[in-house]
């Protein structure tokens, strides 16, 4: 009898374990499938973002060469204002509050209910964006005072910035409308249009900067208004570009102005903390612009171009990876597959560090030749190059931190935790203000850049520590191996590039070629040596990216 009892117990145990084993295998399969597709999706987003960033770099080169520093200072402030609202209302609230809820509704209740939810979202979005646009145009003088009160000390600069702000504010309407479309397309894993459409903004900027200034001068108007026209046309083009893809998935539908949808209530519940958290981050931007407005002509532009150069490597892959990761994380969390969500998060963070760390090292070690190569022409002189290079060192040191924070915040939002990023952002703001107040006097605009980097480091540490209790495992060992291998490869590449620049960088003939040669040597040698060292150090992330590129070439089956 005892023998039978034991045998029966074992059989029961085996039988009971079968569903659990099957569930675990299914969970692992879903997670592995999402990670496999993730790099392919990120590759699609990165390809589109690369085209946009390259055109954005050309845009910055054209603006730097065509307009004087006082004009570009005014533009950076005026464009920052609607851009902050775009990221706050559109990319911040929509992507981090709308996308996870839309993914959940579609998974639980089906496509038809998801479309009804989206129609209500579209109606609410149009009302909010219209109101914000009208108020922004009316309150432009007050907003410029908030961002750049120091401009009142320079004759005509305050008035010019107010005029530009009023022209640029409708940009928020078009970009907010486009951002909601991006959420729907990303949920359906349609990344091609959402990745390539932003390039249209830069095309519009470049065309308007080259064509309109002479006509505006002949009409006795400020030629910098050409940039406002470019922004408005570019925003409209991004909305138009989404129409065919939205129609294919059934989301090009009439907006509904009834706001009783239960999922819409969940979005609004999430949106409050998201807006507050992202808003705290952009208080940094407001204060940075205000501090810079008091530091003389050119400070805004030097800081802004350094920021653009820091955004360039992030935009090519880091932001692309975040866009591709959030839907995968949201899906795994909605299925309560937390082990696979943790693995996917660690996987995306490792890929992020593999791109962001070399970008950090390159911007710090090779800032001057890179800046001269990209910008020094026309009205962008040697002084502009030197000051922008100094700003690039300060801000470039934080590229990997900002990139890691993006992945951490995506994980929190996928978990439905909007409070922790808010609390962390509040502390981040305090760190930034303290550092900026201490450093702006002795270091000028460079001190503001150091304050941004310092606050990013504080934010990274707090988010990483708090996440440990939310996931079954953080896979820190794998992440740190990636960190140190990548850092070694990047440092070796920077050392070789510096030597080659010193040896061969001054050997070309005079003029433009002489200025460009050090930068070309620096960039090419750094990339070549980094890839070689990464392969010798057996960085798995390099193989993952290469495999994703190959899959993309075989037909982009990873579009999902």
pLDDT in tens, 249-276: 888 888 888 777 777 777 777 777 666 6
The per-residue pLDDT for 17 is 42
Q: Give SS3 for 191.
A: coil
Q: Using one digit for the tens of pLDDT, what is the confidence trace for 354-397?
A: 989 999 999 999 999 999 888 888 788 888 889 999 999 999 99
The per-residue pLDDT for 494 is 95
Phi, then psi, of 403 in degrees rounded to 5: -65, -45
Q: Which of 32, 54, 532 is nearest to 328 (CA)?
A: 32
Give this prediction's pTM. 0.70
Residue 381 gets the label, from left (phi > 0), alpha (psi -120 to 50) or beta, of: beta
Report yes or no: 100 and 412 within 8 Å, Cβ to Cβ.
no
Q: How far apart are CA 541 and CA 518, in angstroms?
A: 29
Q: How far apart are CA 301 and CA 306, in angstroms?
A: 8
Average pLDDT along the chain, 560 residues, taken 10 residues at a time: 36 42 51 54 60 81 87 88 71 70 81 84 87 91 87 88 92 87 78 72 92 90 92 91 86 81 77 66 75 86 88 69 69 78 84 91 93 85 90 93 87 81 85 92 92 92 86 83 93 94 64 78 93 90 71 48
CB atoms within 10 A of CB 207: 17
Residue 192 in tokens: 């091609």
The per-residue pLDDT for 549 is 59
Burial track 256-275 (b if 16+ CB lie within 10 A, e otherwise): beeeebebbebbeebbebbb
Question: Looking up tokens 């705290």, which residue turns up?
Answer: 280
Q: How far apart are CA 519 and CA 160, in angstroms?
A: 35
């Amino acid at each position: 009898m005892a023998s039978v009892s034991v045998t029966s117990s074992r059989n029961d145990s085996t039988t009971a374990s079968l569903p659990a084993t099957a569930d675990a295998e299914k969970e692992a399969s879903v997670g592995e499938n999402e990670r496999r597709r993730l790099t392919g999706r990120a590759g699609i987003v990165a390809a589109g973002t690369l085209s946009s960033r390259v055109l954005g770099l050309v845009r910055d080169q054209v603006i730097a060469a065509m307009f004087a520093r006082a004009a570009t200072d005014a533009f950076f402030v005026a464009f920052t204002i609607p851009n902050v609202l775009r990221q706050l209302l559109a990319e911040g609230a929509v992507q981090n509050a709308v996308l996870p809820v839309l993914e959940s509704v579609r998974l639980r209740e089906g496509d038809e209910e998801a479309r009804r939810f989206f129609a209500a979202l579209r109606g609410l979005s149009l009302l909010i964006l219209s109101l914000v646009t009208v108020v922004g145009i009316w309150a432009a003088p007050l907003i410029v005072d908030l961002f750049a009160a120091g401009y009142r000390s320079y004759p005509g600069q305050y008035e010019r910035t107010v005029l530009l702000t009023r022209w640029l504010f409708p940009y928020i309407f078009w970009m907010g409308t486009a951002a909601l479309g991006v959420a729907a397309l990303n949920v359906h894993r349609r990344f091609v249009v959402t990745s390539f459409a932003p390039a249209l903004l830069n095309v519009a900027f470049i065309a308007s900067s080259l064509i309109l200034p002479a006509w505006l001068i002949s009409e006795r108007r400020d030629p910098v208004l050409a940039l406002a026209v470019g922004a408005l046309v570019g925003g409209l083009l991004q909305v138009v570009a989404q129409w065919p893809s939205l129609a294919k998935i059934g989301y090009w539908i009439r907006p509904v102005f009834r706001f009783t949808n239960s999922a819409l209530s969940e979005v609004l519940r999430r949106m409050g903390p998201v807006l507050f958290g992202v808003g705290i981050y952009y208080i940094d931007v407001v204060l940075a612009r205000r501090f810079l407005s008091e530091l003389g002509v050119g400070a805004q532009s030097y800081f802004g171009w350094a920021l653009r150069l820091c955004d360039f490597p992030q935009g090519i892959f880091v932001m692309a990876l975040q866009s591709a990761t959030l839907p995968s994380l949201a899906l795994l969390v909605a299925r309560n597959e937390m082990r696979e969500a943790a693995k996917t998060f660690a996987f995306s963070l490792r890929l992020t560090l593999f791109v962001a760390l070399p970008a950090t090292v390159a911007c710090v070690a090779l800032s001057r030749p890179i800046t001269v190569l990209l910008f020094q022409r026309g009205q962008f002189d040697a002084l502009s190059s030197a000051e922008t290079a100094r700003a690039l060192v300060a801000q470039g040191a934080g590229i990997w931190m900002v990139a890691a924070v993006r992945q951490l915040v995506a994980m929190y939002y996928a978990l439905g935790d909007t409070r922790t990023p808010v609390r962390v952002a509040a502390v981040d703001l305090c760190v930034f203000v303290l550092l900026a107040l201490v450093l702006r006097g002795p270091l000028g605009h460079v001190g503001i850049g150091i304050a941004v980097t310092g606050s990013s480091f504080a934010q990274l540490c707090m988010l990483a520590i708090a996440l440990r209790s939310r996931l079954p495992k953080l896979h820190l060992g794998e992440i740190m191996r990636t960190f140190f291998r990548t850092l070694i490869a990047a440092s070796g590449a920077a050392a070789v590039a510096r030597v080659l620049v010193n040896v061969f960088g001054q050997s070309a003939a005079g003029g433009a070629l002489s200025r460009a040669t050090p930068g070309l040597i620096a960039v090419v040698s750094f990339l070549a040596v980094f890839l070689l060292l990464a392969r010798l150090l057996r960085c798995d992330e390099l193989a993952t990216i290469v495999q994703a590129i190959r899959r993309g070439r075989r037909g982009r089956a990873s579009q999902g």
